[in-house]
Amino acid sequence: MAFEFTDANFETEANKGVSLIDFWAEWCGPCHIIAPHIEALSQEYSGKVKVGKLDVDHNPNIAMKYGIRSIPTVLVLKDGEVFDKHVGVASKAQLAQKIEAALSA
């Protein structure tokens, strides 16, 4: 199951190693399209990458900090710094490529 990032836990959970964060909201149709990809990646990269979701309606501070204006937006962080960003629907393969790039950088 994908990790649930929140305003309260984000700084401690996303500051080391590689993290993939899906910024989403319940009312967002495209967010539901990529949700299965996020779940699958969380299982495939378990123990290597923290893959999770952040509900922008319930956690506005982190969304504001990273300038999230459209959802879904997926950020790949490496040691707390933005490594890559994708706005809109993405395939599982596209997201996996971003993870692999961060892991090998």
CATH number, domain at 81? 3.40.30.10
How many domains in the chain? 1
- What is the Cα–Cα distance from 68 to 64, expressed in whole angstroms? 6
Q: How far, in Å, are 29, 54, 73, 91 from residue 14 at the CA level?
A: 26, 12, 16, 23
3-class secondary-structure state, position 39: helix
Residue of 14, 20, 21, 28 marked catalytic: 28
pLDDT at 1 over 90: no
Residue of 20, 31, 62, 77 marked catalytic: 31
pLDDT at res. 39:
98
pLDDT at res. 70:
97
Domain containing 30 equals: 3-104
pLDDT by residue (tens digit) across 48-101?
Answer: 999 999 999 999 999 999 999 999 999 999 999 999 999 999 999 999 999 999
Q: How far, in Å, are 6, 17, 26, 59 from residue 55 at the CA level?
A: 8, 22, 8, 6
Q: What is the mean pLDDT of residues 35-50?
A: 97
Whether 31 is a known active-site residue: answer yes
Whether 36 is a known active-site residue: answer no
pLDDT at res. 71:
98
